[in-house]
Amino acid sequence: MASKDEKNIIKALQSQLNEITDGVSRPSGIKPTKTTKVGVLGSGLMGHGIAYVTALAGMKVVMTDISQDNADKGLNRINTILNDSYEKGLIPEKKIKEVLSRINATDNYSQLVDCDLIIEAVFEDRELKAKVTKDAEQFLESNGVFASNTSSIPITSLAKCTTNPQKFIGIHFFSPVHKMKLVEIIKGKKTDSETLAKAFDYVIKINKVPIVVNDSRGFYTYRVFERYTGEGMALLFEGNSAESIEAAGKKAGFPVGPLAVSDEISIKLIAHIRDQKWRDLDREKKDLESGTWDNVIDFMTKEVKRNGRASGSGFYEYPKDKKKYLWPKLNHHFPISDTPLDEKEMIDRFYFIQVIETIRCFEEGVLTKVVDANIGSIFGWGFPSFTGGTLQFVNNYGFKEFKNRSQELSDKYGNRFSCPKLIDEMINNGDTF
Q: Is 172 a catalytic residue?
A: yes
- For residue 258, whether the previous peptide bond is cis, meaning omega lies within 30 degrees of 0, is no
Point out the catalytic residue in the list 172, 178, 332, 333.
Answer: 172
Nearest Cα neighbor of 114 from 71, 165, 66, 62 is 62
Is there a contact between 210 and 186 (Cβ–Cβ < 8 Å)?
A: no
Residues 6+ apart with CB under 8 A from 163: 137
Report DSSP state, residue 308. Answer: B
Is there a contact between 199 and 185 (Cβ–Cβ < 8 Å)?
A: yes
Neighbouring C-alpha atoms within 13 Å toward the C-beta of 57: 22
Residues 6+ apart with CB under 8 A from 80: none
Residues 6+ apart with CB under 8 A from 134: 161, 162
SS (H, E, C) 229-288: HHHHHHHHHCCCCHHHHHHHHHHHCCCCCHHHHHHHHCHHHHHHHHHHHHHHHHHCCCCC
Question: What amino acid positions are annotated as catalytic residues?
Answer: 172
